[in-house]
A and B are shown apart, each in its own frame.
Chain A
Amino acid sequence: MARPVQYNIYGQTDVKLVKEGPEGYMGEGFFGTSLDKVVGLARKNSIWPLPFATSCCGIEFMATMGSHYDLARFGSERVGFSPRQCDLLMVMGTIAKKMAPVVKQVYLQMAEPRWVLAMGACASSGGIFDTYSVLQGIDQIIPVDVYVPGCPPRPEAVIDGIIKIQDLIGKESLRRRNSEKYKQLMESYGIQ
């Protein structure tokens, strides 16, 4: 079975820390490419995460932000605590049913484009808390882009998840958020 965490070994994975610039036409002193790619490049390397940490996954996230693992290397230097400024909602830890409206409210307060990362077994599926009071995965209330497995995941896994998010952001079409499919997705969660 493939390991859930990919390592950044050049040539062995499709995830690379150091990437060449986007495809384009280059000459002396200029470089031409499509707007999509430039915007994607800018967005993906300056993600502002909003940590929504409720339990032990939050502790692992703190380690990820610390000097040893240092998420800042990936352009997520600033962890914002206002949903209105942030691009990436990181839900880390058990979300009780009573907490669900709060998570949804935070998601709604974020401006488009916004992404969601569910970190750990609890946020992804309820985890070991198969019980009447716990939400069985935050994807019951908000759309999730990347799930990070683990209980709790190691900081490497969090970084892997962030790189996956970066990959999604970099490849996202500028028109995606206006598309019919995206509207349907939002409507399926009762948003707008």
Chain B
Amino acid sequence: MLTNDTIKQQLIEKFGDQVQQFQEPYGMLTFEAPKDLNLKVLQFLYDDETLAFRFLTDLQAVHYPDNKGRELAVVYHLHNLTANVRIRFKVFTEIEKPDVYSATALFSGANWMERETYDFYGINFIGHPNLKRILNVDEMDYYPMRKEFPLEEQTRVDKDDDMFGR
């Protein structure tokens, strides 16, 4: 039986105090690690016979503009298919140099998800084979989901600012 406590214990045994911020929102184990360790943690979770987190459900980023030095979080959702256990793993990076190692070598499915994350948040996944925009138009010159950019289309002149909350 794979419980959150055993996962947490194994992670601490392996990585010591480098894995931290363990939380269980809605029963789902969530933790973070330094961004340089992201592949090591993912590889450990993948290789270990009991942990066996071998399915990357989702990968995305979050922008916390007030979180100086760690503005961007990259979140990995992992799934152990045999035990049907899910965990969430985060790494944080500064916005000036958003370099994070790519997980494409470990999970082929990370390819498009990392492209999407790059497209919307500008995370530079080091080692990604084809890091270019996937959903937005190629001409786009910013990362639209970062909070400094307004959501609304800026080319419109016919909308009343008072009525459209600008």
Give the B-binding residues of A (Cβ under 8 A): 97-98, 125-126, 130-134, 136
Contacts of A133 in B (CB 8 A): 135-136, 144
User: Which 6 A-B residue pairings sit nearest by Cβ, starting from the closest?
Assistant: A132-B144, A130-B152, A97-B137, A98-B137, A136-B156, A136-B153
Which residues of chain B in 127-165 are interfacial with respect to chain A, using CB atoms and an 8 Å cutoff? 135-137, 140, 144, 149, 151-153, 155-156, 158-159, 164
Within the complex, which residue of A97, A98, A132 is in contact with B151, where a contact is CB–CB below 8 Å? Answer: A132
Contacts of B140 in A (CB 8 A): 132
- B15 → chain A, closest Cβ, in Å? 39
Q: Tally of A-B residue pairs with Cβ under 8 A?
A: 30
CA distance A131 to B151 in the complex (A): 6
Give the A-binding residues of B (Cβ under 8 A): 135-137, 140, 144, 149, 151-153, 155-156, 158-159, 164
Contacts of A126 in B (CB 8 A): 153, 156
Contacts of B159 in A (CB 8 A): 130
CA distance A18 to B159 in the complex (A): 40
Q: Is the CB of B136 within 8 A of A134?
A: no
CA distance A131 to B159 in the complex (A): 13
Who on chain A is nearest to B158 by CB?
A125
Some 21 contacts from A to B, beta carbons below 8 A apart, are A97-B136, A97-B137, A98-B135, A98-B137, A125-B158, A126-B153, A130-B152, A130-B153, A130-B156, A130-B159, A130-B164, A131-B151, A131-B153, A132-B136, A132-B144, A132-B149, A132-B151, A132-B152, A132-B153, A133-B136, A136-B155
Contacts of B153 in A (CB 8 A): 126, 130-132, 134, 136
